[in-house]
Amino acid sequence: MRNEELKEQWETLVSVLTERFSETESIDIEGILYLVGLQELGQVHKRFKKDDNVDIIHIGICSVLEPFGYYAFDYFDDERWPHFKLIEELPPLKPGEQSILMKEAVVHYFIQKGLIQ
């Protein structure tokens, strides 16, 4: 039952974000984590260097996994980039399990933000 609910929530989220941010193809998990990272960074109108993109995705990952107890916000650096500390190592997961965990975390994030129900 839970997997079906997650699947429906995920599809709704992808549909909403694709409509808002992509003109041609469906947005994937990496793109969604990038959007979360941008949101948390709070510098959405700034142009970033190619090297910054990995850091922005990392901010997204930490932000969505924070409520699950894996990361905690630590501090903002001089450029106002958030930094997180690892609280608990992620358990060893198979690729499918990792995907489910990330989808659950992302869906939870957007439910908390009021974008989806």
Confidence at residue 24, expressed as pLDDT on a 0 to 100 scale: 80
Domain definitions of the chain by residue range: 2-112
Position 70 scores a pLDDT of 97
Give the per-residue pLDDT at 13: 95
- Three-state DSSP state, 90: coil
Closest by Cα among 44, 81, 47 to 62: 81
- What confidence category does residue 117 fall into, taking pLDDT thresholds of 50, 70 and 90? confident
d(CA 93, CA 102): 11
The candidate with the shortest Cα–Cα distance to 64, out of 28, 110, 99, is 110
- Give the model's confidence band at 50: pLDDT under 50 very low, under 70 low, under 90 confident, else very high: confident
Query: For residue range 71-97, what is the model confidence (pLDDT) as tens digits?
Result: 999 999 999 999 999 999 998 999 889
Per-residue pLDDT tens digits for 16-49: 999 998 878 899 999 999 999 999 998 777 888 8
CA 6 from chain centre, in angstroms, equals 15
